[in-house]
């Protein structure tokens, strides 16, 4: 009889330097040898991500025609490479988002709760699904959750039909009276994940002092490598290369902005001028956060409701919000659908990055559940039925992809939140106005 005595590295292993701590991805060396010697099933899904798309969609160009994604609709066409891990869900509704506003669309997306109608500071909503997850599985990680957005400035006061702007600014609420602000600046997100923080002056001083946080942890890297096998050394090398590349892109954006003789006051230094570059950088930071197991719960707001952002990448020169009030003009609807398609293409980029990142005996995408969608269906009439919603990932948790699930009757979006929370181990009697779990989304495992 032989005995395996190999000692495993702790899962929460960090490389540490002056003012820096870099979490490592899951390595073979972190799995106890006796466990690693046998073929073991993938760990259950334990991550949740939420991507918010504002102002609904052109549902005819969004909705797949069949029960699979073999024939992708025009708006979803960019998901071809990951469709085996994507499910489109039709006929979900948010009854608590009525009377039908942009503010309630944003507020109800993760809470499925009715926002108190107020323009003042006595706002009241509900604890959002991501924060319920963070209060449970978030206790196991460095950050309980990560809240991100693409809009650099929050609006104040009354924003929409007598609703305070707080409802449009924030997706995540840790309690009915506590909205959580999101961060859109890549450098600040990066430092939240890897840096020492501090006030603005401290951060600028730190940036001048160091070319890269990885330069501070070279000693730890050198001492760690002899303890790793060839596969782990390659995995660590790829992960650290990704960190350095993200740093390089942030520093380049900072340099470009600093050299601009006409600075954009709405775009602080370090934010890429291109929406595409900015969004991809924010998605890459989420991949790093997952890979280093820094957090397991994330939200990302691609734009706020009523956003008048223009997306030149699409060839459409109209601002987004006015296009959504298209009055059934076919040309305006077609232009709006190009914006919808563009947003989905960025989501596809994120899923491809997760799918390409190995973890354990699967990938980051296998070990995650990512929901993408909007709190509004047809934006022209501000309704909250037949919402555009996608669910991705989850192979390790039994989610079967390449499907289009169409409910015969309007079904509460809260049922999906209730189900996803259950899949990551959060046991509740119900969530908001949920009435059942959507077990049909998953295989029995």
Give me the domains of the chain, ranges plus CATH numbers. Answer: 45-184+275-441 (3.40.720)
The residues near 151 (Cβ < 8 Å, ≥ 6 apart) are 184, 301, 303, 304, 307
- Exposure b/e, 333-361, CB count within 10 A at least 16 = b: bebbbbbbbbbbbbbbbbbbbbbebbbbe
Query: DSSP H helical segments within 218-329, as ranges?
Result: 218-224, 230-258, 275-291, 320-324
Given a cut of 80, whether residue 68 has pLDDT beyond it is: yes
Given a cut of 90, whether residue 118 has pLDDT beyond it is: yes
Kindly indicate the confidence band of residue 312, based on its pLDDT and cuts at 50, 70 and 90: very high
Given a cut of 70, whether residue 258 has pLDDT beyond it is: no
Question: To 10 degrees, the CA torsion angle through 119, 412, 432, 181?
Answer: -50
> Can you tell me the distance from the alpha carbon of 139 to that of 362, in angstroms, rounded to the nearest whole number?
24
Kindly indicate the confidence band of residue 45, based on its pLDDT and cuts at 50, 70 and 90: low
> Can you tell me the distance from the alpha carbon of 130 to that of 257, in angstroms, rounded to the nearest whole number?
34
Structure-block tokens of residue 42: 């993938």
- In angstroms and rounded to an integer, the radius of gyration of the C-alpha atoms of the chain is 22
> What's the chain's average pLDDT?
84
Maximum C-alpha span of the chain: 77
Distance in Å from the first CA to the final CA of the chain: 33
Is residue 286 within 8 Å of residue 357, measured between CB atoms? no
Give residue 200's pLDDT.
53
- pLDDT, one tens digit per residue, over 275-305 is 999 999 999 999 989 988 889 999 999 999 9
Which has more confidence, 333 or 222?
A: 333
Kindly indicate the confidence band of residue 247, based on its pLDDT and cuts at 50, 70 and 90: confident
Give residue 41's pLDDT.
44
Kindly indicate the confidence band of residue 43, based on its pLDDT and cuts at 50, 70 and 90: low
Average pLDDT over residues 128-141: 92
Is residue 170 within 8 Å of residue 204, measured between CB atoms? no
Given a cut of 80, whether residue 6 has pLDDT beyond it is: no
Average pLDDT over residues 75-96: 98
Is residue 75 within 8 Å of residue 65, measured between CB atoms? no
Is residue 23 within 8 Å of residue 295, measured between CB atoms? no
Given a cut of 80, whether residue 343 has pLDDT beyond it is: yes
Strand partners, 393: 369
Is residue 53 within 8 Å of residue 372, measured between CB atoms? yes
Given a cut of 50, whether residue 37 has pLDDT beyond it is: no
Q: What are phi and psi of 19, to 5 degrees?
A: 70, 20
Give residue 227's pLDDT.
80
User: Hey, how many other C-beta atoms are within 10 angstroms of the C-beta on 136?
Assistant: 18
Is residue 390 within 8 Å of residue 83, measured between CB atoms? no
Average pLDDT over residues 112-133: 95
Note if the pTM is more than 0.85. no
Q: What are phi and psi of 103, to 5 degrees?
A: -60, -45
- pLDDT, one tens digit per residue, over 384-437 is 999 999 999 987 788 989 999 999 999 999 999 999 999 999 999 999 999 999
Given a cut of 70, whether residue 159 has pLDDT beyond it is: yes
Give residue 15's pLDDT.
61
Average pLDDT over residues 80-106: 96
Specify the range with the lowest mean pLDDT, choosing from 132-136, 150-154, 180-184, 427-431.
150-154
Which has more confidence, 190 or 9?
A: 190
67 DSSP 8-state letter: S
Average pLDDT over residues 256-266: 45
Average pLDDT over residues 100-115: 96
Kindly indicate the confidence band of residue 11, based on its pLDDT and cuts at 50, 70 and 90: low
Which has more confidence, 144 or 45?
A: 144
DSSP assignment string, 134-152: HTTGGGGSSSS-EEEES-S
């Amino acid at each position: 009889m032989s005995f395996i005595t190999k000692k495993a590295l702790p899962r929460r292993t960090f490389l540490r330097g002056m003012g820096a701590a870099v979490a490592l991805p899951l390595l073979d060396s972190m799995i106890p040898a006796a466990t690693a010697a046998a073929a073991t099933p993938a760990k259950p899904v334990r991550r949740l991500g939420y991507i918010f798309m504002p102002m609904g969609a052109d549902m005819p160009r969004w909705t797949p025609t069949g029960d699979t994604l073999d024939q992708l609709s025009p708006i979803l066409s960019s998901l071809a490479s990951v469709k085996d891990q994507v499910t489109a869900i039709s006929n979900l509704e948010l009854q608590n988002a009525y009377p039908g506003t942009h503010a309630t669309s944003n507020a109800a997306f993760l809470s499925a709760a009715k926002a108190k109608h107020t323009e003042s500071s006595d706002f009241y909503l509900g604890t959002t699904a991501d924060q319920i997850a963070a209060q449970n599985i978030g206790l196991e990680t460095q950050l309980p959750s990560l809240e991100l957005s693409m809009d650099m400035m929050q609006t104040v006061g009354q924003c929409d039909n007598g609703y305070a702007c707080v409802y449009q600014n924030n997706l995540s609420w840790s309690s009915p009276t506590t909205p959580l602000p999101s961060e859109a600046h890549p450098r600040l997100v990066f430092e939240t994940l890897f840096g020492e923080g501090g006030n603005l002056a401290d951060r600028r001083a730190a940036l001048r002092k160091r070319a890269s946080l990885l330069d501070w942890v070279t000693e730890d890297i050198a001492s760690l490598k002899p303890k790793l096998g060839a596969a782990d050394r390659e995995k660590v090398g790829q992960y650290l290369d990704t960190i350095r590349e993200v740093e390089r892109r942030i520093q380049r954006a900072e340099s470009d902005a600093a050299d601009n003789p006409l600075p954009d006051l709405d775009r602080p230094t370090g934010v890429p001028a291109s929406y595409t570059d900015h969004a991809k950088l924010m998605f890459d930071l989420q991949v790093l956060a997952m890979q280093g197991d820094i957090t397991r719960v994330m939200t990302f707001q691609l734009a706020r409701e009523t956003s008048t952002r223009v997306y030149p990448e699409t060839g459409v020169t109209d601002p987004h919000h006015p296009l959504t009030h298209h009055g059934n003009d076919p040309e305006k609807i077609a232009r709006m659908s190009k914006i919808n398609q563009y947003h989905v293409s960025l989501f596809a980029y994120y899923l491809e990055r997760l799918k390409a990142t190995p973890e354990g005996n699967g990938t980051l995408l296998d070990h995650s559940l990512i929901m993408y969608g909007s709190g509004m269906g047809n934006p022209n009439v501000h309704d909250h039925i037949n919402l555009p919603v996608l669910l991705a990932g989850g192979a390790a948790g039994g989610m079967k992809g390449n499907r289009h699930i169409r409910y015969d009757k309007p079904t509460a979006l809260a049922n999906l939140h209730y189900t996803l929370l259950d899949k990551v181990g959060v046991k509740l009697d119900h969530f908001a106005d949920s009435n059942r779990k959507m077990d049909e989304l998953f295989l029995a495992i």
